[in-house]
Structure 1
Amino acid sequence: MSNTGFTARLAQWIAQAPRNWQADAMDQAQRAIADTIGCIIAGVDDEAVRRVRAGLGRWGGGGEASQAGTAGGVDAPWAALLNGTSAHALDFDDVLDPAASHVSAVMVPALLALGEQMDASGADLVDAYIVGVEVQECLAEAVNMTHYSRGWHTTLTLGAPSAAAACARLLRLDAQQSCHAMSIATSMAAGFKRQFGTNTKPLHAGLGAKNGILAAQMAAAGVTADPAIFEGERGFLDLMAGDGAAGFGSVLQRLDGPPAIVSPGVWLKRYPCCASTHRVVDAVIGMMQANGLAVADIVGIDTQVSEPAVRNLMYVQPRDEMQARFSMAYCVAAAALDKDLRLATFRRTAMDRSDIADFIPRVAMSPDPAQPGDMPSTTRSWATTTLHMGDGRSFTRKVVDPKGYPGNPLSEQELEAKFRDCASAQAADVAASYADWRGIASTAKIRPLCAGLRTLAKEV
């Protein structure tokens, strides 16, 4: 690579990387895209999505992109905004762990909307998705976990510029335009983790998707931006991460290795709640099943998780469904009682259960001093959970790779079952579309497939 700065060198790769990805990269990308479509379907009538749809009102009508649950076409940025919000509404969407972000809830809606507008092929969409994930991984390795621990919601702060990179790739912009696209997107990248548990948290994914499209289209139209926005003085690293971050010195070496969609890979979630709970939930269910433990005999559950996880899980006694997804106590209580967490777990009827309310005080969470907030993004987190029994026994389990994590992936059968569960309240043909989304790279034109999102029932 040339001796130009990080932003320019990354843009050069975006424009020039070969499009002949290895088979496992194509497969993993298609798994993630199908999983995200399931999450869009499941979230179509969530409260946050209904409110965003109402807020958009009549803006953008008559376009060529499909907005979930909207009969007619809309302009691409508005389709991406709503579909991104829907993808992230139930917190069932995937995670790029080094970024601590919901990468596909931003990337897939952006590319679907822009790709439908362009009448792109499935193969071009998958190619752009792989590029976008790679860009986000490069940014994450440079700024995390310092950036994330400062309170930035990386789904938007890293999501917008990486979606812009993916859209630039889909538009086949040159290196200079791709550089401008990412740089423009940084001026639309914010998002505070204080929004967790509110409607604005899933809206962050929609904003990232919309902003990625806008930034790439502006760059295509000739709008210019600073060419060293990530590494320069008063740039992204300087303002939003600071001296504790690794920086960009050696990050681009990863471009010579396996693509990020393969290594480290994305985490396709098993449970529809904050990823910070999943290791503990797996531990509780696993120990109860392995030892034949009855929930009535558990007098306490102690868990140690990373410092960022403690900060993410800010609700002990959740007041609504969104807060429940960010409550370790609620998720663990429901998991202990039901041996699973389902979409139904985070509906009002479940939250009103007296047995869950009675169990919540038995759950304690504390930060693990071995996992500070400024750990390098490439260091994997873990959770250590102990069950205390009424007869004096205790059981402890440490979980590093929860179910769905790249090291412990969902099987093909589990992935399809998740999609069908997400589509269970829709017409039969929606669930049947799984095979088409799973093999989207072989689709000559994505418009007919995307149009299926318009038929989703909004009152489910």
Structure 2
Amino acid sequence: MSPDYHKSSIESGIANVQNVSAAYAMWAVSAPRHFGSEATHRAKRAFMDVIACMVPGALDEAALTLRAVSSQWGEGPSTVVGQQRGQSAPLAALANGTAAHALDFDDNFDPAKAHITAVMAPALLSLGEARVKSGADILEAYIVGLQIATRVGQGLNPFHRNRGWHATSTVGAIGAAVACGRLVGLNHIKMSHCLNMSTSYAGGFMSQFGSMTKPLHAGKAAEAGVVCALLAEAGMTAGHETLDGPTGMAQLMVGPDLEELRTKAEFKREHGQTMRFETDSIGEPLAILAHGLKVKRYPTCASTHRALDGVLQLIAAHGIKANDVTHVDVYAPVSHFNNLMYRDPKDGLQAKFSMEFCVAVALQNNSVGLNDFTPDAVASSSYRSLMPHVHRHPVAKSESEFATRVEITLKSGAQHSVSVDAPKGRADNPLSDMELWDKLRQCCRGILDSTATERLAEALGQIDGPQPIATLMALLR
């Protein structure tokens, strides 16, 4: 963190603020402009990754369906990825957020239990382009919004998410609103209204997983972030107990047993989740450094990733061939299997949430990529024939308490097993910068030619500079 960040100078003024949302708003407008080179680099990587995801995501059926309708709603200054005509900042955020999450290739953020960058980046890029902001301005606002999303997520999770709320569209909307409020320079009173207003946009259920509405959740949350910042800037007000009040988010979106759950969470504190809204030290540790983001290696639900890493490790170590396998036993936290509700997926959207299908792909191809979720691929007998060999074993422990274990049994009777705690892409096992560039090129292949891809890569490499973000966004039209 930058040496000019001093807890005493920023948070001493917050210490006497009793209201949670007011305290968060105060921190969001008082935090420094510079968080240090490592925090900026991590934010830069997050934008590189999510923009890579937007390129093929813009051609997904969900994104195309949305644009077919929203393109009729008028023009504006902000880029919609894959569309020549710009639109208003809220509509561009809606379209680009949907595209960012459409392929489930975008990052995860554990404290919030959300695909946070797929919400916050589209909101900031769309608003930043409309307001002629630089990439450096946008990255700084992202770090601020991420910090508040962390504190809200830690105050609601894990039970908010475990009870079926899609935190990408609940916590994500709040993080995006604060980030956008920071970008346009709201004062602490208007920032408080912005944050509180965004809770009225927070919604979305895990029952939408495996449908086009799941990525729409990210788009709607991104749109909400822009709208709340602009309305608060114009003078719109909101209630002030929307997080922790008697009819606030914690009571209504966790449950009436909130206090009992807080006692349970206190003993685990997974990803800093205590079910309490931290106000004593809002900005420390800085979340982007302390927790980091999980950049995806595979375009599937993150709950498959530890198992997929395990399968590929065993293939590499023992030369396993798909037709030699009789059983693949996957032992994983029950929360992972709760996310993977499709044992017999009918389309590519469902297949991304199927442990059976994803493991079959890994066995057959020794890889899992974007082309494995087309209609033809999902119907392929080469995958379908392997799926019955994959067996689920839910374990009643949290992710931090139990490493996913994969056991492969061969026709010869040989058995091989491996446990995976940190999937490739997690902050403590990150993709290298080169691997991230390779992901960008993979996402652009067949959509942008090599010259256009390299221009985009060059612009992304300079996103932390002073040039207007419109320079980069023009390459995505």
Partner residue in 2 for 1:42:
56
SS in 2 for 1:72: strand
Offset at residue 443 of structure 1 (A): 3.7
Q: Does 1:444 align with 2:467?
A: yes
TM-score normalised over the length of structure 1: 0.94
Counterpart in the other structure of 2:100: 87
Instruction: State the distance in 2 between where 1:380 and 1:267 align.
Output: 18
What is the RMSD of the two structures over their aligned residues, measured on CA atoms? Answer: 1.5
> Partner of 2:293 in structure 1?
266
Contact 1:31 1:438 in 2 (8 A): no
Determine which of 420, 423, 428 is the counterpart of 1:407. Answer: 428
From 337, 343, 348, the equivalent of 1:321 is: 348
Corresponding position of 2:337: 310
Moved more, 66-75 or 161-170: 66-75
| Identity among equivalent pairs (%) | 38
Which of 363, 384, 388 aligns to 1:336? It is 363
Paired with 1:68 and 1:143, the residues of 2 have a C-alpha distance of 33
Partner of 1:385: 406
Shift of 1:438: 3.1
**Partner residue, 2:271:** none
SS at match of 2:65: helix
Within the candidate set 106, 117, 130, 1:104 is matched to 117
Larger mean Cα displacement after TM superposition, 156-165 or 340-349: 340-349
Runs of 4+ more than 3 Å apart: 245-250, 252-256, 379-382
For the pair 1:136 / 2:149, whether they are aligned, the reply is yes
| In 2: Cα distance, 1:3 partner to 1:206 partner | 33
Residue 330 of structure 2 aligns to a residue in which SS? strand
Partner of 2:36: 22
Asked if the contact 1:64–1:73 (Cα under 8 Å) also holds between the matched residues in 2, the reply is yes
CA distance in 1, matches of 2:417, 2:24: 44
Partner of 2:375: 348
**In the TM superposition, what is the alpha-carbon distance from 1:429 to its structure 2 partner?**
3.7
Q: CA deviation at 1:435?
A: 2.7
Distance 2:71 2:467 in 1: 33
CA contact (8 A) 1:382 1:399 kept: yes
Aligned twin of 1:275: 302
Would you say 1:181 and 2:181 are equivalent positions?
no
Q: Using the alignment, how far apart are the partners of 1:90 and 1:217 within structure 2?
A: 29
Could you report, residue by residue, the CA deviation over 1:277-328 in whole angstroms, capped at 9, with x for unpaired residues?
A: 0000000110121122222221111112222211111111111111111111
Query: Do the aligned partners of 1:33 and 1:438 also contact (CA within 8 Å) in 2?
Result: no
Cα separation, 1, equivalents of 2:346 and 2:140: 42
Residue 207 (structure 2) aligns with: 194
For structure 2, the residue ranges without an aligned partner over 5 or more in a row are 1-14, 266-273
* Paired amino acid for 2:332: V
- Offset of residue 256 of structure 1: 4.4
Tell me if structure 2 keeps the 8 A contact 1:173–1:220.
yes
Secondary structure (helix, strand or coil) at the match of 1:405 reads coil
8 A contact 1:30–1:439 mirrored in 2 = no
User: Which whole-Å deviations, capped at 9, do the CAs of 1:30-57 have from their partners, x for residues lacking one?
Assistant: 0000110000001111111111111214
| Deviation at residue 113 of structure 1 after TM alignment | 0.4
- Secondary structure (helix, strand or coil) at the match of 2:385 reads helix
Match in the other structure for 1:361: 388
| 1:430 maps to amino acid | A
**Alignment length (residue pairs):** 447
**1:224–1:248 distance in 2 versus 1, CA, 3 Å:** farther
Q: Distance in 1 between matches of 2:40 and 2:333?
A: 32
Correspondence for 1:257 = 284
Q: What SS class does the counterpart of residue 135 from structure 1 fall into?
A: helix
Which one of the candidate residues 57, 81, 87 is aligned to 1:68? 81
C-alpha distance in structure 2 between counterparts of 1:220 and 1:204, whole Å: 24
Q: Alpha-carbon deviation of 1:73?
A: 1.6
CA positional deviation for 1:349: 2.7
Q: 1:51 aligns to what?
A: 65
For residue 333 of structure 1, report the CA deviation from its aligned partner: 0.3
Aligned equivalent of 1:428: 450
Is it true that 1:8 corresponds to 2:22 in the alignment? yes
Structure of greater relative contact order (alpha carbons < 8 Å, 6+ residues apart):
1
Contact 2:154 2:276 in 1 (8 A): no
1:412 partner amino acid: D
Deviations 1:69-91, CA, capped at 9 Å, x for gaps = 21122101110000000000000
SS of the residue corresponding to residue 71 of structure 1 reads: strand
* Alignment-derived partner of residue 242 in structure 2: 229
Residue 458 of structure 1 is matched in structure 2 by none
Secondary structure of the corresponding residue to residue 111 of structure 2: helix
- From the superposition, tell whether residues 278 and 248 of structure 1 become closer, same or farther in structure 2 (CA, over 3 Å): closer
Partner of 1:31: 45
Aligned pairs for 1:288-303 within 5 A = 288-303=315-330
Aligned residue for 1:416? 437
Q: CA deviation at 1:15?
A: 0.6
Counterpart mapping for 1:207-246 below 5 A: 207-242=220-255, 243=258, 244-245=261-262
For the residue of structure 2 that corresponds to 1:58, the secondary structure is helix
Question: How far off is 1:350 after superposition?
Answer: 1.8
Q: What is the one-letter code of the residue matched to 1:290?
A: A
What is the alpha-carbon distance in structure 1 between the residues aligned to residue 61 and residue 133 of structure 2?
Answer: 32
TM, length-normalised to structure 2: 0.91
